[in-house]
């Protein structure tokens, strides 16, 4: 029996959703800047991304990419990466905790949206390694998943020190079980063995990709390995923290953008065109930042921000926005880019693409979905 396909029963058709959460409220306006909107330059005389003095990639004649994110221009121009702008949630507390909580739970309901997706995606069984959080604890979004694994590295997938003997004994006992439990045990053991083999070999990323040494790059590298090893990965959650740029914005944010740029672009290269067809990467944050810079070269908590969507057939090469303009009358509350697209409307079509049978009403309850046309 080929374990390559038995783990999921879906073989090559299995799609993986990789969610990257930028914690702390990432400034979408400086990641993908509205170069066409004077309001932006007026409000940010000192910290705006300036068209003229940077190599800023022009995305679509209106928006420009922060030069630190320059390597995302390649997937963008390949048509594999799309930006959604002025996107976010309905939470207007501008509290990190409240906003992250709401966005990850997606409503006044138990578990997180990713967890509920896995439970209500229309599959009867869930593989041992279907959901992974590359972090120290289970994120809110993955709560309620039928089985979720928290890992820092591949080495976490063992039965402890000296677990080899135990594993061998378990293999013998479960070999005699001819029911679904036995089958599931064999899948789990096969996944353990495969990961053990992986962790003993040095990983060579494909297509000349090279990963940086920071946590995010190392984490997404492990994700690439696991996807290639076909252990049945369906949902992954990764975080990049440190986006709360109240003072000297560039000192706070630039290092995080460097991580995002390096990690995503290495992953994109490593997976290659064929690989990326089966993977959708979603980058999101709990809220954006105030339009106007503050006296400390920073920005305070705001509302709308950006999402990046990469791979999985997403129609890239465009900035999707219902751009409201940045005039006083459209700014929200203390002067924030309004949320014109709800993040659920971006996620819903992706979930449906990955699992056509998904019960979206259970994943995003009490919300009238208006799915965005992210596939064109």
Which residues would be at the binding site for other proteins (CB under 8 A)?
A: 105, 108-111, 115-116, 119, 124-130, 137-138, 143-150, 157, 159-160, 162-163, 165-166, 168-170, 172-174, 176-177, 180-182, 184-185, 188, 191-192, 362, 365
d(CA 235, CA 18): 6
For the bound state, the minimum distance from the C-beta of residue 283 to other proteins, rounded and expressed in Å, comes to 25
> Judged by CB, which is closer to other proteins: 33, or 138?
138
Q: What does the alpha-carbon distance between residue 215 and residue 153 come to, in Å, rounded to a whole number? A: 10
CA dihedral of 96, 98, 104, 105, whole degrees rounded to 10: 170
| Residue 108 buriedness (CB in 10 A; 0-12 / 13-18 / 19+) | exposed
In this complex, which beta carbon is closest to other proteins, that of residue 75 or of residue 144?
A: 144
| 63 neighbors 83 (Cβ within 8 angstroms) | yes
Would you list the DSSP string of 108-143? SSSS-HHHHHHHSSS-S---TTSEEEESSS--GGGT
Q: Toward other proteins, which CB reaches closer, 195 or 337?
A: 195
Q: How far is the CB of 239 from other proteins (least distance, A)?
A: 17
Neighbours of 177 (CB within 10 A): 13
Of the two residues 191 and 236, which places its CB atom closer to other proteins in the complex?
191
Provide the minimum distance between the beta carbon of 144 and other proteins in the complex, in angstroms, as a whole number.
Answer: 6
Report the 10 Å Cβ neighbour count for 274. Answer: 8
* CA 62 – CA 80 distance, rounded (Å): 19
Q: What is the CA radius of gyration of the chain?
A: 21
State residue 135 phi and psi, 5-degree precision: -170, -170
Cα 286 from Cα 91, distance rounded (Å):
9
Of 135 and 305, which CB lies nearer to other proteins in the complex structure?
A: 135
Strand, coil or helix: 290? strand
| Closest by CA position to 223, among listed 164, 149, 286 | 149
**Please, what is the minimum distance in Å from the beta carbon of residue 142 to other proteins?**
9
How far apart are CB 193 and other proteins at their closest, in Å? 12
**Closer to other proteins by Cβ: residue 90 or 332:** 90
CB of 225 to other proteins, least distance (A): 18
Which residue number, 138 or 319, has a Cβ lying nearer to other proteins?
138
Find out whether 341 and 360 touch, Cβ atoms under 8 Å: no
What are residue 150's DSSP bridge partners? 133
The least CB distance from residue 87 to other proteins, in Å, is 24
Count of all residues that appear for the chain in the document: 376
Min dist CB 199 to other proteins, Å, is 15
Beta carbon nearer to other proteins, 132 or 284: 132
């Amino acid at each position: 029996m080929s374990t390559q396909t038995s783990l999921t029963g879906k073989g090559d058709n299995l799609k993986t959703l990789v969610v990257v959460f930028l914690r702390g409220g990432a400034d979408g306006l400086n990641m993908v800047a509205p170069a066409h909107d004077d309001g932006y330059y007026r409000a940010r005389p000192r910290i705006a991304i300036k068209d003229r003095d940077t190599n800023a990639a022009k995305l679509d004649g209106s928006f420009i990419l922060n030069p630190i994110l320059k390597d995302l221009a390649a997937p963008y121009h390949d048509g594999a990466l799309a930006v959604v702008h002025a996107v976010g949630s309905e939470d207007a507390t501008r509290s990190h905790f409240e906003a992250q909580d709401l966005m990850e739970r997606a409503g006044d309901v138990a578990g997180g949206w990713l967890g509920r997706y896995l439970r209500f995606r229309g599959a009867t069984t869930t593989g041992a390694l279907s959901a992974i959080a590359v972090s120290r604890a289970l994120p809110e979004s993955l709560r309620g998943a039928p089985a979720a694994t928290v890992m820092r590295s591949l080495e976490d997938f063992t039965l402890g020190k000296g677990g080899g003997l135990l594993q061998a004994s378990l293999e013998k006992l479960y070999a005699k079980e001819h029911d679904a439990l036995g089958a599931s045990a064999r899948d789990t053991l096969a996944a353990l063995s495969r990961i053990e083999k992986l962790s003993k070999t040095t990983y060579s990323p494909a297509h000349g990709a090279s990963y940086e040494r920071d946590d995010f790059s190392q984490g997404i590298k492990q994700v690439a390995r696991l996807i290639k090893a076909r252990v049945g990965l369906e949902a992954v959650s990764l975080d990049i923290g440190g986006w709360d740029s109240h003072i000297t914005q560039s000192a706070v944010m630039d290092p995080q953008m460097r991580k995002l740029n390096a990690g995503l672009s290495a992953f994109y290269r490593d997976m290659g065109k064929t690989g990326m067809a089966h993977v959708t990467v979603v980058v999101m944050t709990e809220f954006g930042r105030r339009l106007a810079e503050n006296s400390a070269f920073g920005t305070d908590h705001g509302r709308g921000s950006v999402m990046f969507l990469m791979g999985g057939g997403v129609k890239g090469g465009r900035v999707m926005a219902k751009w409201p303009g940045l005039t006083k009358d459209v700014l929200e509350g203390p002067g924030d880019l309004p949320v014109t697209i709800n993040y659920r409307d971006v996620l819903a079509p992706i979930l449906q693409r990955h699992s056509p049978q998904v019960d979206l009403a259970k994943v995003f309850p009490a919300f009238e979905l208006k799915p965005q046309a992210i596939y064109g």
